[in-house]
Structure formats: C-alpha cells, structure tokens
Amino acid sequence: MRAFVITGPGHAEVQEVEPPMPGPGEVVVEVERAGVCGTDMEFYSGAMTYLHTGEARYPVRIGHEWAGVVREAGDGVDPAWLGRHVTGDTMLGCGSCARCLGGSQHLCADRYEIGVRNGWPGALAERLPVPVHALQPLPGTVDPVLGALVEPGGNALRAVNAAALDRGDRLLVIGPGTIGLLAALMAAARGVEVHLLGLTEPSLDFARSLGFTRTWTGRPEPAFDGVIDASNGRDSPALAVEVVEPGRRIVLIGLSAEPSRIDTRRLVLGDVTAHGILSASGGLAGAVELYASGLVDPRPLVAATVSLEEAALVLAGPRRPEWGSAPKIHIDPRLPG
C-alpha cells in the first residue's frame, strides 16, 4: 500500500509498504481522511520532542486525526465492526498498569500514540491498524471530513469542560488555530461569550467569519471567567493567569517550543486553578455527538483536501493562496498523486 514516510528532518516521500495485518483484538481501517496538525509539522522539521527523548525515531509514519471504514478484523473482534465508519483514540495504553486500570490510559508510561509515539504507524496511509477498544463509531450524519475532526474536537471539548463555564460567562481563547477555534465553537454552543486573542489579522478575520466578533491582537482588557491557551506562545500561560478572574480556571492545551513561566504567586493569591489537557481521550464521544447534532459545525475549518504526494508541501508550511486562512488541511490517501 501507499504510505507517507518522513525519513529525516525536511525529508519525506510516499513509499510502497507492506499493508498491516490485524493482530488479536485489532482491526484494519481503510483511511478516508487524515488531518495534519502542528505535531506532524514538528516531526517533519525535526523539532518534535519525542525525537530527542527516544520516544520516536525516523522513519516516522505520521497521522493521528483520521476517519475511515473497518475492512479487516483480527481474532477476538466482533465481525459486526466490519464495514463500520469509525475514528479512534490516539492514545493506546498498555491496559494493565495502575493508570490504565484507573481510566487514565492516555497517561500510561508505556503507551503507543498512533502516528506519534513508540513506532505505531499513522493514518497518512491507505490503511491503518487500530486496537478495537480504541475505536469510536461514527453515525451516518458524521462523514469523513467531520470524522477526521473528532480527535482535535475531543481535545477542544476537554478544554472547554475543564474551564467550567456557565451560560453568559466570558471566555478568552488564546490562539485561533484548529483547537482554539473548535473550543470557541463548542463554548459558544453553550451560550458562553467567547473572545479570541491572535497574532495576525488574517487569522482573526477568519475567526470573525465564523461569527466571533470579539477579537484581540493586543493585551485584552477585561477580566475573564475562564481562559483557554491553545497557542504555542511562550508568554501565553502567564497572560492567562493575569487576565482570569480570581477563583476561576485557566486551561493549558497549547505547547511552546521553549519553557513557559508562570508566577505561581498569582495562582495562589488569586485562588486560580491551572488545568492541563493531554489528548482527546475521554472527549471523542462528546465531539461526535456535537457534530452529529449540528450544534457545532467545524467544516469551515478545513481549507483543502490533498493527496499523500502533497503532504510534504503542507508540512513544510507554505500555503496556496486559494486555501485562504482556514487552519486545517486534510489528506485523502485515496486521491491520485
């Protein structure tokens, strides 16, 4: 089968590789869509932390935001899964440690991460092996485009839930990328007043096209009932602490390439809770429900869908003018090169 393989920093190609065979408790999914995110771009550039800690190494087959159809089932898998449209969890815990048994398999020290950690192949390929327990079924109203947005949506939903906001509360989202905009859409669906802080006018123009008129490029003035930092800005977490109301929460889901510093005196004296979010685990079903109900429509976030052969161009950063300012690019492995 065809698969996109990163062989080193700045080097990648589509290769013919052996198709996966389902092991016990596993299925093989025919991939219909896969999203590209900042983590994938870091693998391509060589900046990804796991490359330096030994948790990942080249060659890497990326892709952890995906949707497809179950085509093969291994021993012990209910045949009823065959032909079903699915997406799935990125985090694959060992299943036997205290964290896994306690419901936190996404924090398992020995976990695989699809397309990211410990060599589990990703979804930028025609077929993908997945443990059946990680599958999330998709209803008929959630097509492959929406299905490939479930994983980032699960992250965003967990961030919104962690902010613990009520209708009419004011939320500041720092970073109008895919996760930030999904969080904004989900919070707005709950009646939250959403403000967005970004660096560039084009990104905020796109946010405004989605109906978010309260936007900032400089330091925002009001105090907010919650702040979600979905950016990669080194100083954003400190800003979040400064502008959140005392007694409320900041949620940190973005990661800076450099260490971020927070004055913990502000946390203590403001009785502020800081909540970190790792992965969509626990948020996938809720994201599917929001998409299926129509309360949240993330389709406008997808700028384009391209082939595997065009993935390297996407990862390198340049954007075609016709793509506009929408943040997400999808790959369809079935498209000809």
pLDDT digits (tens, 9 = 90+) for 69-95: 999 999 999 999 999 999 999 999 999
DSSP assigned state of 107: G
Question: In degrees, to the nearest 5, what angle opens at C-alpha 292 toward C-alphas 209 and 311?
Answer: 65
Least confident span in 153-157, 162-166, 211-215, 255-259 = 255-259
Farthest CA pair distance, the chain:
58
Closest by CA to 66, choosing from 102, 96, 40, 103, is: 40
Q: State the Cα–Cα distance between residues 176 and 190, nearest whole angstrom.
A: 19
How confident is the model over 96-116, as pLDDT tens digits? 999 999 999 999 999 999 999
User: In whole angstroms, how far apart are CA 194 and each of 104, 170, 304?
Assistant: 30, 6, 26
d(CA 207, CA 195): 10
pLDDT for the residue numbered 318: 82
Domains of the chain with CATH codes? 2-149+298-331 (3.90.180.10), 155-276 (3.40.50.720)
pLDDT tens, residue by residue, 17-49: 999 999 999 999 999 999 999 999 999 999 999
Q: Report pLDDT for 229.
A: 98
Residues contacting residue 138 through CB under 8 Å, at least 6 positions apart: 67, 84, 85, 86, 87, 146, 147, 150, 288
| Predicted confidence (pLDDT) per residue in 218-236, tens digit | 889 889 999 999 999 999 9
The predicted pLDDT at position 222 comes to: 80
pLDDT tens digit string along 262-308?
999 999 999 999 999 999 999 999 999 999 999 999 999 999 999 99
How much is the pLDDT for 337? Answer: 79
At 200, is the pLDDT very low, low, confident or very high (cuts 50, 70, 90)? Answer: confident
What is the average pLDDT value for the chain, to the nearest integer? 96
Predicted pLDDT at 202 = 87
Peptide bond before residue 79 is cis, with ω within 30 degrees of 0: no
Q: Is 162 helix (H, G, I), strand (E, B) or coil?
A: helix
pLDDT of residue 218: 87
CB-based burial label for 259 (10 Å; 0-12, 13-18, 19+): exposed
Residue 261: which of 241, 286, 283, 285 has the closest Cα? Answer: 241
Q: Give the helix/strand (H/E) hosting 146.
A: helix 144-147
pTM of the prediction?
0.96
Rg (CA), the chain: 20
- Per-residue confidence (pLDDT) for residue 257, from 0 to 100: 84
User: Please, are residues 198 and 325 in contact by the beta-carbon 8 Å criterion?
Assistant: no
